[in-house]
């Protein structure tokens, strides 16, 4: 009977050791695998970024100039390209305001209408003044402005994440 009791004790001991080792291996392998799988979804991929549009010298006073831009956006495992046109305007050649080309009504793309001297939205006949204010149509607010800086004679805008 004592031999049988020792076997049962050894079996329990070995089973316990195997369980502990298997748990340790699962933890060592599993935690990094789980981190790899969920990290793109919780990590902030797109940081704020200053984007260079072009030289200030290319701007004619009082007339908006369109500068096309694009940037890559990574959201989790999905990578996309964001494109747009930024309209830069200067009155004195020193201070620059840069407007988005996205209508504040339903996000249609506005364009500069040289004959009417304003930004026209083709979707719902919205019209914005040269400084982005709503003159006609349903938009609830003026055109969005980018935070702007001039560095080495180049116009830069801040694109947020």
Which residues 6+ apart lie within 8 Å of 139 measured at CB?
103, 104, 105, 121, 126, 128
- 19-29 b/e (C-beta count within 10 Å ≥ 16 → b): eeeeeeeeeee
pLDDT digits (tens, 9 = 90+) for 84-101: 899 999 888 778 999 999
pLDDT digits (tens, 9 = 90+) for 52-84: 898 988 888 888 999 998 888 777 677 888 888
Confidence band for 5, pLDDT divided at 50, 70 and 90:
low
DSSP 58-88: GPPTTS-EEEEEEEEEEETTEEEEEEEEEEE
Q: Phi-psi bin for 127: left (phi > 0), alpha (psi -120 to 50), beta?
A: beta
DSSP 2-38: HHHHHHHHHHHHHHHHHHHHHHHHHHHHHHHHHHHHH
Q: 8 pLDDT exceeds 90?
A: no
Stated pTM of the model: 0.67
């Amino acid at each position: 009977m004592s031999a049988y009791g020792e076997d049962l004790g050894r079996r329990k001991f070995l089973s316990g050791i195997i369980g502990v080792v298997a748990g340790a291996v699962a933890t060592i392998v599993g935690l990094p695998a789980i981190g790899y799988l969920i990290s793109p979804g919780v990590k902030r991929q797109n940081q704020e970024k200053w984007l260079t549009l072009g030289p200030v010298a290319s701007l004619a006073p009082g007339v908006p100039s369109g500068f096309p831009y694009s940037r890559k956006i990574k959201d989790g495992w999905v990578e996309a390209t964001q494109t747009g046109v930024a309209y830069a305007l200067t009155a004195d050649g020193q201070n620059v305001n840069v407007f988005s080309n996205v209508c504040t009504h339903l996000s249609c793309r506005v364009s500069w209408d040289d004959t009417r001297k304003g930004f026209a939205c083709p979707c719902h006949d919205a019209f914005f003044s040269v400084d982005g204010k709503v003159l006609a149509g349903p938009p609830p607010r003026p055109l969005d402005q980018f935070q702007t800086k001039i560095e080495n004679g180049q116009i830069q805008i801040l694109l947020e994440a």
